[in-house]
Amino acid sequence: MKAMLLNGKDVAKSVRESVKHEVEALKKENIYPGLAVVLVGEDPASKVYVRNKGRTCEKLGIFSETITLPKDVSQKELNTIIDKLNHDPKFHGILVQMPLPRQLDASEIIHRIRPEKDVDGFHPENVGRLILDEEGFQPCTPAGIMEILRYYKISLEGKHAVVVGRSNIVGKPMLNMLYQKKKDANATATICHTRTQDMGAITRTADVLIVAAGVPEFVTGDMIKPGAVVIDVGMNRVDDPSTDKGYRLTGDVKFDEASEIASAITPVPGGVGPMTIAMLMVNTVKAAKFQNR
Ligand SMILES: Nc1nc(=O)c2c([nH]1)NC[C@@H]1CN(c3ccc(C(=O)N[C@@H](CCC(=O)O)C(=O)O)cc3)C=[N+]21
Ligand SMILES: [Mg+2]
């Protein structure tokens, strides 16, 4: 172990502290930030995340309600619920937990949530605003990664930042945050994906390597440039009978190899994951402010 650990729990704690103070200030103006979380079905991982979101809201003084729907809920019923939440002034933010069961069209739901309440930053209006560097909601996971880099004073200026993975929720928004012409960004940014030829040749040129491949231990030591900063977005449950829960969490990076080569690395768990929830709290407070201007 040579690499410095980038402790997302510490960064998330510091973000939550400042959100908590903002919430207190807003309450003095009679603004009570509120978040609606919609959970469809019984996916155990989703239930854990949703419970954590509710708990974090409570700790920060944010009002939250979880709406749990049966896994066979129809698109029409879900649309009606979204419309109601869109018009309910108690809720400044709406989050529909992904992934959704097969009968539901995630894209239709993402389009339906009012952009002003889209604290996930998934609505096309917010995606456009991100690319244009306009004020709006930015997806929590990549926004959290930018916070980790800022907290640890890891400069992106002129560096080569490589993203592995082209999802709408991590890879694409991450790329766009990295190259923005602004302080704490200004990287040269590259995105790699399943069709990339000789990916190692590209990742080995990364000063900052952000991995959201969705494949356990996808990035091996030989794909990392010595001294690089490695951000592991992976969150894979791998069966492990030797643990209490019967599984353990592993990232998209082979941690033992990577930590011998990188200068700094995020662990899994305790890296990017806690930041995702912290940034959701940031976005919820921002939504409450916007809606009361
Ligand atoms: N509409 C929507 N918005 C999301 O933001 C969203 C979603 N759907 N679906 C699922 C993903 C995943 N996600 C995580 C949140 C917290 C942790 C987290 O706190 N992870 C802890 C460990 C948690 C554990 O032990 O399972 C850690 O990395 O230390 C991870 C992943 C939010 N997501
Ligand atoms: Mg993590």
How far from the centroid of its chain's Cα atoms is residue 129's Cα? 17
> Which is the closest atom of ligand 1 to the Cα of 9?
29
Q: How far apart, in whole angstroms, are the C-alpha atoms of residue 174 and residue 165?
A: 10
Measured by CA distance, the residue closest to atom 4 of ligand 1 is 97
Mind listing the pLDDT tens digit for each residue in 273-283? 999 999 999 99
Mention every residue, 6+ apart, whose C-beta is less than 8 A from residue 115.
123, 125, 126, 136, 137
pLDDT for res 86: 98
Confidence of residue 293 (pLDDT cuts 50, 70, 90): confident
Residues near ion ligand 2 (CB < 5 Å) are 268-269, 271-273
Choice among 117, 118, 120, 159 that is catalytic: 120
Rounded mean pLDDT of 19-42?
98
Q: Which ligand is nearest to the CA of 148?
A: 2
CA of 77 to the centre of ligand 1 (A): 26
Predicted complex ipTM exceeds 0.90? yes
> Which is the closest atom of ligand 1 to the Cα of 122?
1
pLDDT for res 105: 98
Mind listing the pLDDT tens digit for each residue in 223-270? 999 999 999 999 999 999 999 999 999 999 999 999 999 999 999 999
CATH architecture for the domain at 30-114: 3-Layer(aba) Sandwich (3.40)
Measured by CA distance, the residue closest to atom 20 of ligand 1 is 273
Q: Are 286 and 137 within 8 A, CB to CB?
A: yes
pLDDT for res 1: 72
CATH tag, 140-273: 3.40.50.720
Distances (CA, A) of 119 to 138, 164, 177, 292: 8, 24, 17, 16
Q: Are 21 and 279 within 8 A, CB to CB?
A: no
Nearest CA among 118, 132, 123, 168 for reference residue 286: 118
Choice among 27, 47, 84, 97 that is catalytic: 97
Mention every residue, 6+ apart, whose C-beta is less than 8 A from residue 62.
23, 33, 34, 35, 281, 284, 285
Q: What are phi and psi of 185, to 5 degrees?
A: -135, -125
Q: How far apart, in whole angstroms, are the C-alpha atoms of residue 114 and residue 120?
A: 11
CA of 62 to the centre of ligand 1 (A): 19
Measured by CA distance, the residue closest to atom 31 of ligand 1 is 273
Q: Are strands 160-164 and 208-211 parallel, antiparallel or unpaired?
A: parallel
pTM: 0.97
SS3 285: helix
Confidence of residue 179 (pLDDT cuts 50, 70, 90): very high
* Domain boundaries, given as residue ranges, for the chain: 30-114, 140-273
Ligand 1 pocket, Cβ-based, cut-off 6 angstroms: 48-49, 52, 95-98, 120, 140, 235, 249, 268-270, 273-274, 276-277
pLDDT for res 30: 97
Fold match, 30-114 / 140-273 = yes
Percent residues over pLDDT 90 in the chain: 98
Active site residue 120: yes
